[in-house]
Amino acid sequence: MTKQTWNPCSILSPVPAVLVTVRGKNGEENVLTIGWAGTICTIPAMVSISVRKERYSYELLKESGEFVINLTTEALVRATDYCGVRSGRDEDKFAAMELHKEKASKVQAPLIKESPVNIECQVEQVIELGSHDLFIARVVAVDVDEKVIDEKGRLDLGKAHLIAYAHGSYYSLGKQLGTFGYTVKKAPERKSVKSVKKRTEKEPVKGAMTEPEKKSAKTGVKTARAARSTKKSAK
Ligand SMILES: Cc1cc2nc3c(=O)[nH]c(=O)nc-3n(C[C@H](O)[C@H](O)[C@H](O)COP(=O)(O)O)c2cc1C
């Protein structure tokens, strides 16, 4: 592979394109699209968003110190783009995109009803970086649509049809290739020759999870492949 070396640019991809809702101290509510958003700490749960000073939302954010990150889905892709190219200075973007507001539990900014997961945040620090100011915030509540919670009470974001943003384009997430730690998960005892044969025939993508592994990731039961790899590494 031949590589070209480019000048520094914001190329990290994919990123989430989220809808961020804000409410100013006089009750003005707005929504804007943010691509420069990230998880920055697990305990305490913290996130960041980078916002240009010229955004209408910037002042609302600064004065309230609160915002909500609303995850975006295939059904919300038009709203995601629109809220990123139109300003709340000129129009009500909630009305234009038929986004319904819901009351948040810990912050004043509204939740977007159509979004499956809303992350309520309180700003702890603002760092001026250059074009953008980085808002570092603590997550104070997370609101999850029951449609993306499975029968065991676990979050199943596969049902949410989330979207991502990469270098100017919106993408749906596509098929699941693995789950956290699937490459080292222990396998169950081999049950029958038939089940082993089925797995080999069905293996779809090199390195991706096999069907039994996907099942095992859900149930916690070990797969034969992981058992073999454990045996090998023990040698
Ligand atoms: C996909 C996408 C990602 C964006 N990411 C950011 C971002 O991270 N930070 C930012 O300040 N503006 C970002 N924008 C631009 C703002 O969303 C846009 O300027 C918006 O109109 C600001 O709205 P407001 O004036 O109502 O606050 C993005 C726009 C799009 C379409």
Domain harbouring 123, CATH code: 2.30.110.10
| 22 has a pLDDT exceeding 60 | yes
Tokens representing 5? 């070396």
Whether residues 110 and 189 fall in one domain: no
Q: What is the dihedral of CA 227, 229, 234, 235, to 10 degrees?
A: 120
Q: What is the pLDDT averaged over residues 120-125?
A: 98
What pLDDT is recorded for position 229?
44
- 124 Cβ neighbours under 8 A, 6+ residues apart: 46, 136, 137, 138
| 30 contact partners, CB below 8 Å, separation of at least 6 | 21, 22, 23, 24, 56, 57, 60, 88, 93
> What pTM value is reported for the model?
0.85
Question: Is 95 in the same domain as 162?
Answer: yes
User: Which carries the bigger pLDDT value, residue 222 or residue 104?
Assistant: 104
Report yes or no on 2 lying in a domain: no
Asked whether residue 54 falls in the same domain as residue 114, the answer is: yes
1 vs 180: CA distance, rounded Å: 29
Output the CA 87–ligand 1 centroid distance in Å: 9
d(CA 104, CA 23): 11
- Mean pLDDT over residues 55-84, rounded? 98
For the stretch 188-202, pLDDT in tens is 776 665 555 554 455
Would residue 73 count as lying in a domain? yes
Ligand 1 contact via 86 beta carbon (within 6 Å)? yes
Alpha-helix residue ranges (DSSP H) falling in the chain? 56-64, 77-82, 93-96, 193-202, 211-219, 224-234
Statement to judge: residues 95 and 151 lie in one domain = yes
Alpha carbon of 92 to ligand 1 centroid (Å): 15
Asked if the model's pLDDT at residue 48 lies above 90, the reply is: yes
Count of the separate structural domains present in the chain: 2
Distance 23 CA to ligand 1 centre (A): 16
CB-hemisphere CA count at 13 Å for 16? 19
Report the pLDDT averaged over residues 168-185. Answer: 95
212 lines ligand 1 (CB under 6 A): no
- Among 172, 204, 224, the domain boundary falls at 172
Minimal-distance CA residue to ligand 1 atom 17: 84
Judge if the beta carbon of residue 51 lies within 6 A of ligand 1: yes
Ligand 1 atom 10, closest CA: 51
The secondary structure of residue 185, as a DSSP letter, is P
Distance (angstroms) between ligand 1 centre and the Cα of 85 equals 7
Q: Among residues 130, 154, 172, which one ends one of the domains? A: 172
pLDDT at 16 over 60: yes
**CA 87 – CA 91 distance, rounded (Å):** 7
If you average pLDDT over residues 162-189, what whole number do you get?
A: 93
CA distance 112 to 70: 6
Domain that residue 166 falls in: 18-172
Reduce the DSSP state of residue 81 to 3 states and report it: helix
Q: Is position 177 within any domain?
A: no
Residues 104 and 68 in one domain: yes
Distance CA 104, CA 112 (A): 9
pLDDT at 47 over 60: yes
Mean pLDDT along residues 104-130: 98
Residue 140 lies in a domain: yes
Q: Are 208 and 214 in contact (CB under 8 A)?
A: no
Q: Which atom of ligand 1 is nearest to the CA of 88?
A: 26
If asked whether residues 95 and 27 sit together in one domain, one would say: yes
- pLDDT confidence of residue 187: 79
Same domain, 127 and 206: no
Q: Is the pLDDT of residue 227 over 60?
A: no
Is residue 18 scored above 60 in pLDDT? yes
Q: Are residues 165 and 197 in the same domain?
A: no
pLDDT band with cut points at 50, 70 and 90 for residue 178: very high
